[in-house]
């Protein structure tokens, strides 16, 4: 047995569905009533104004439908962003454009590669300088050793290292 008995609950009993034609007829009747009220308020000027209002009839119809729907909704969605239309003069075509995620990643990748190459070249330059200094130091040491050997050889007779005998 369903909730609320055999015939169903109380929900849905008061609902009435209207066809679009009925809604249009109702809107037209309300417009006519509003026009008559305006004519009564203004007197003779109402006839001239009604001719001008026929041009804006579609806009008025749209606005009234919209007001009805907005009247039913009493809560505003804080997450809803109002859409604003911009004119071509207001658009900033030369301004900075937001890049997509892939474009940003590609640019970051290129910058990282440039940083790496710059640091790598600096390291290579540092290594070549250190090698040059080490080569110069080794050359100096070798020259000093040769000079010391020449000085010791000129003062003493030459000895054979393997035999430790004087020649």
Residue 141's pLDDT band, with cuts at 50, 70 and 90, is very high
Q: Is 134 a member of any domain?
A: yes
Q: Which domain holds residue 150?
A: 101-154
Q: What is the 3-state secondary structure (H, E, C) of 45-101?
A: HHHHHHHHHHHCHHHHHHHHHHHHHHHHCCCCCCCCCCCCCCCCCCCCCCCCCCCCH
- Tell me how crowded residue 38 is: count the other CB atoms within 10 A of its CB: 14
**Is 164 domain-assigned?**
no
The reported pLDDT for the residue numbered 80 is 75
pLDDT of residue 59: 72
* 105: in domain: yes
Q: What confidence tens digit (pLDDT) does each residue in 33-44 have?
A: 999 998 888 875
**pLDDT given at position 122:** 96
158 or 132, greater pLDDT: 132
Estimate to the nearest angstrom the gap between the alpha carbon of 57 and the chain centroid.
Answer: 42
How far apart (Å, rounded) are the C-alpha atoms in residues 114 and 101?
20
Q: Which letter does DSSP use for residue 166 in this model?
A: B
Residue 147 lies in a domain: yes
| pLDDT digit string, tens, across residues 66-97 | 666 665 655 666 677 777 777 777 666 666 67
Residue 11 lies in a domain: no
The pLDDT of residue 123 is above 80: yes
With 70 as the cut, is the pLDDT of residue 11 above it? no
Grouping H, G, I as helix, E, B as strand and the rest as coil, residue 159 is strand
Q: Which of 7-11, 29-33, 87-91 has the highest mean pLDDT?
A: 29-33
Query: Is residue 122 assigned to a domain?
Result: yes
Number of domains in the chain: 1
User: 46 pLDDT exceeds 50?
Assistant: no
In a domain, 41, yes or no: no
Within-domain flag for 33:
no
Res. 132: pLDDT tops 90: yes
């Amino acid at each position: 047995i369903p909730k609320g008995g055999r015939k169903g609950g109380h929900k849905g009993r008061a609902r009435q569905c209207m066809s679009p034609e009925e809604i249009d007829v109702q809107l037209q009747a309300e417009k006519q009533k509003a026009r008559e009220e305006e004519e009564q308020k203004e007197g003779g000027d109402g006839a001239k104004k009604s001719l001008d209002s026929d041009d804006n009839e579609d806009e008025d119809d749209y606005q009234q439908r919209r007001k009805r729907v907005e009247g039913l909704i009493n809560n505003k969605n804080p997450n809803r962003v109002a859409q604003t239309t911009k004119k071509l003069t207001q658009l900033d075509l030369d301004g900075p454009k937001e890049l997509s995620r892939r474009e940003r990643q590609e640019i970051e990748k290129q910058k990282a590669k440039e940083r790496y190459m710059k640091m790598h070249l600096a390291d290579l330059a540092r290594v070549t300088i250190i090698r040059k200094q080490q080569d110069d130091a080794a050359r100096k040491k070798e020259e000093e050793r040769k000079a010391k050997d020449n000085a010791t050889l000129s003062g003493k007779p030459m000895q054979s290292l393997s035999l430790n005998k004087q020649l």
